[in-house]
Amino acid sequence: MLYRCYAKINLTLEILGRRDDGYHDLASLVHTISLADKLRIEHADDLLTRVEGLDIDPDTNLVARAAALLASTTGERRGAELSLVKRIPAAAGLGGGSSDAATTLVGLNALWNSHVSVADLTRLAADLGSDIPFFVRGGAAVMRGRGEQLEAVPPLGGQWFVILVPPHDVLDKTRWLYTALEASDFSSGETTEAAADVLRRRQALDVTHLVNGFERAARSVFPGLSATWAEAQRLAARPFFLSGAGPAVFALASDRADARRQAARLAQLGSAHAARTVKHARASLKFAAETSIGYS
Ligand code: C5P
């Protein structure tokens, strides 16, 4: 079976505050987009993972960990061969590794006929990482808590984006970015609620709805990001916003032609992509019949 592991962008990302357990409470409106890795899952005697398209791949590790977690939870003794073709830039704020891990859970659940419910798959996903539960279903959702509490909202139809990932090599990026946060980076979550309301009313988003609380920290942690960001805004003549903890930045595009034109312009600055919103990451699965349950 062949699956697409869709990337996400955080249309909003607000950090509400630091918690006693070392995590941070978030409010984020997140949406799957058409930029995707491909994951082929086949029967095999042992659990094998391999990857194309990236030299050193932290995301392979998450696929292997997801597979091992499902196998140990269900007592599965059969193996599987998992072949990942990477297209989503790694550790960029686009959720590539998390999407690969969630798709591994969903795909192996189908291959092994494990009958693990969507709610239980979502709980397993949360054990692997805070933003992995979202990718079990994808689409549009408000993430709360440390990222594992999800409220589905109506997805945006056919919104195009141009995405730029500047070259970077910051190790253990997510933890670094959280550590670099200051009290002035925290906000109430109101912008996220307002943006989610726009989707609930099935209206179009505009730039006034977009925000990211990591912006100041990302500019200080990623060398050269501020200059690249300014140059992207000059070349594409529009504001860009950070996705996740960065360093990927994105802008709204009016249609596919506009997104592609801007991506071609930005290619000199890094890895540039045109992508559109994806409403249901699992539309093609038998599993899709269950998804009306919503998140637990
Ligand atoms: O959950 P995950 O393993 O992806 O988180 C990686 C690190 O990012 C955590 O150890 C924590 O330091 C930080 N984090 C956080 N608040 C969140 C999510 C992650 O502080 N909501």
pLDDT of 103 above 70: yes
| Pocket of ligand 1 contains residue 129 by CB under 6 Å | yes
Q: Which CATH superfamily is domain 160-276 in?
A: GHMP kinase, C-terminal domain (3.30.70.890)
CATH of domain 2-153: 3.30.230.10
pLDDT of 61 above 60: yes
204 CA from centroid of ligand 1 (Å): 31
pLDDT (mean) for 275-281: 90
pLDDT digits (tens, 9 = 90+) for 202-212: 999 999 999 99
pLDDT of residue 58: 62
| Pocket of ligand 1 contains residue 178 by CB under 6 Å | yes
pLDDT of residue 284: 46
Task: Look up 55 and say whether it is catalytic.
Answer: no
pLDDT digits (tens, 9 = 90+) for 9-32: 999 999 999 999 999 999 999 999
Residue nearest to ligand 1 atom 19, measured at CA: 23
Sign of CA dihedral 187, 127, 221, 52: negative
pLDDT of residue 278: 96
pLDDT of residue 56: 55
pLDDT of residue 171: 76
Structural domain spans, the chain: 2-153, 160-276
Structure tokens given for 258 = 């506009």
pLDDT (mean) for 97-115: 96
User: 10: buried, middle or exposed (CB in 10 Å: 19+, 13-18, 0-12)?
Assistant: buried
Q: Which atom of ligand 1 is nearest to the CA of 147?
A: 21
Residue 157: CB partners within 8 Å, gap ≥ 6? 277, 279
Tell me the pTM. 0.93
